[in-house]
Structure 1
Amino acid sequence: MTTSHDPGALAAWLLGALEPEEMRAMEQHLSSCRRCQAEVASLRMARDALQVVPPEAMLDGPPEGSDLLLRRTLNQVRSERASRVRRNRLVTAAAAVAVAIAVAAGGAVIGRTTAPSSVTAQEPGTRNVSATDAATGASMSVAVRPAAGWVRLSASVEGIPQGQKCRLVVFSRDGSRVEAGSWLVSAAGAREGTALDGFALVSPADVASVAVENLDGRRFVEVRV
C-alpha cells in the first residue's frame, strides 16, 4: 500500500490496523514527512479527546453503531489476507469510521457548556519534561511516549527567532543522537511558539535528553528526560 499522504492509511496506522511490514513502512515515512506528522498529531488529539468525553457530553450522541462498526471493520481488515486490493479498501473504511468518531467527539467537547475536564489521557510510560535555557531564552516542553524499541515525541518550543532552521534531536545515554524532525521557525512560531510531533529510533529506556538545534549546530534548549 502507498504511504504518501494517505489520511486513511495514517488513521489505520494510529489504530494499529496495518500489517507489521506496513506499520514499519509508515513509521519510516512519518520520520521524514512533516505533513503526515501534523495529520497524525491532529488524529491523535481527536482520539484522545474521545477517550475522556463521557457519552452524555455528546451534542447529538455518538455516531449510531460506531463502536460496533469500527470493530467489525477492523476484524475484516485483519482477516482479509488473500486480496490486497480488498484489504486496502477495508483499511480505508476503518480509518474513515475512526476519523468520523473522533470528529464527533471533538465537536462534543467544543460544544460543551460545562467546565472542561482537566484530565488528559496519557499513554503508560509517557514522560513529560520541560526546561528553559537562560542563555538563549528558549524553552521546550516535551512528552516522550514509548513504542516498541523507539519513541514518539510531542513538543512545544518557544523563544526561537523567526527564520531559524531547526531540528529536534534525541540523545541516547551512550551519547549518540537521532534527529526526530526539522522545521523553519515562522513569524507565528517566533511569537507564539511551535508545536511539533516527531519519531526517533531510540529505545525508550535509553533516551537521555531532547534538544533543539539549528542546522549550524547552535543549541537553543535541551531537556533532560
Structure 2
Amino acid sequence: MLKEELPPEAALDGPPPDADHVLQRTLGTVRRERHDAGRRRGRVMAATSTFMVAGALAGGVWLGQDTGDTVLRGTSAAGAHLAVQVTDTEGGLRLVATVDGVQGGEACWLVVHTKDGRTFTAGSWRANEDEVTLSGSAMVRAADVAGVSVMNHDRTPLITAG
C-alpha cells in the first residue's frame, strides 16, 4: 500500500489541523460507547456472580434442613429386627430398610401397609444370615403409612415396624 492511499487520520502524530470534526466526534462517541459497554458487561458479571453465590448458599441451607424422614422400627418374637427410613418424594415414597435375623434362604417381601388397609409391595429378596439393607418405593404418601412388614412367601408377616 502506498502512502498516498492512507487517509491523513492514520498519521502517527495525529490528525492534520484541518481534519474533519465530524469524524473526530464520531470516533469520540465510539470510544465512549465502547467504554460504557465494558462497564455494563462488568456490572452484569458482578450481578450474575452475586446471584450464583446466593443460590449456592440458599441450596446449602435447604439441603441442611430436616427432610422430615420417618424411621419405623420393629422386632419379631424370634428376634429379627427391621428398621425402615420412609421418605416422601414427588411420586410416592422411598424406603430404605435394614433387616436382620430372618432365617437364611427365606423368600421375603417388603410390604407397605396404609391406614386405609391397602398394601404395596416395595421390594423382595432372599434372606441370608447377615444383615440386609435394601431400597424400595411405593405409590403412597408417607403420611398414609400405617406400617411396613417383612413377609414370607405365604404372605405371613415375619417382622412389622410401625
TM-score by shorter chain over 0.5: yes
Structure 1 residue 128 corresponds to structure 2 residue 71: yes
Distance 2:122 2:75 in 1: 20
User: 1:4-153 residue pairs with structure 2 within 5 A?
Assistant: 124-134=67-77, 136-153=78-95
Corresponding letter in the other structure for 1:133: S
**Structure 1: 5+ residue runs without aligned partners?**
1-70, 72-120
Structure whose residues are more often helix by fraction: 1
Q: TM-score w.r.t. structure 1 length? A: 0.42
Distance 2:141 2:96 in 1: 16
Structure 1 residue 183 corresponds to structure 2 residue 125: yes
Corresponding letter in the other structure for 2:72: V
* 3-state DSSP of counterpart to 1:137: coil
Q: How many residues align?
A: 100
Distance 2:152 2:112 in 1: 14
Structure whose residues are more often strand by fraction: 2
1:195 to 125, 133, 157: 133
**Residues 222, 122 of structure 1: CA spacing in aligned structure 2 closer, same or farther, 3 A cutoff?**
farther
Structure 1 residue 169 corresponds to structure 2 residue 111: yes
Post-superposition offset of 1:220: 0.8
Q: Which structure has the larger Rg over C-alpha atoms? A: 2
Give per-residue Cα distances to partners, 1:144-200, cap 9 Å, x unaligned.
0111241100010011011100000000100100000000113xxx1x211110001
Matched residues, percent identical?
37
Conserved? CA contact 2:113–2:146, under 8 Å: yes
Corresponding letter in the other structure for 2:131: G
Post-superposition offset of 1:205: 1.2
**Residues 163, 142 of structure 1: CA spacing in aligned structure 2 closer, same or farther, 3 A cutoff?**
same
- Tell me how large the CA RMSD over aligned residues is: 1.8
**Structure 2: 5+ residue runs without aligned partners?**
1-51, 53-63
Structure 1 residue 154 corresponds to structure 2 residue 96: yes
**Residues 220, 145 of structure 1: CA spacing in aligned structure 2 closer, same or farther, 3 A cutoff?**
same
Moved over 6 A (4+): none
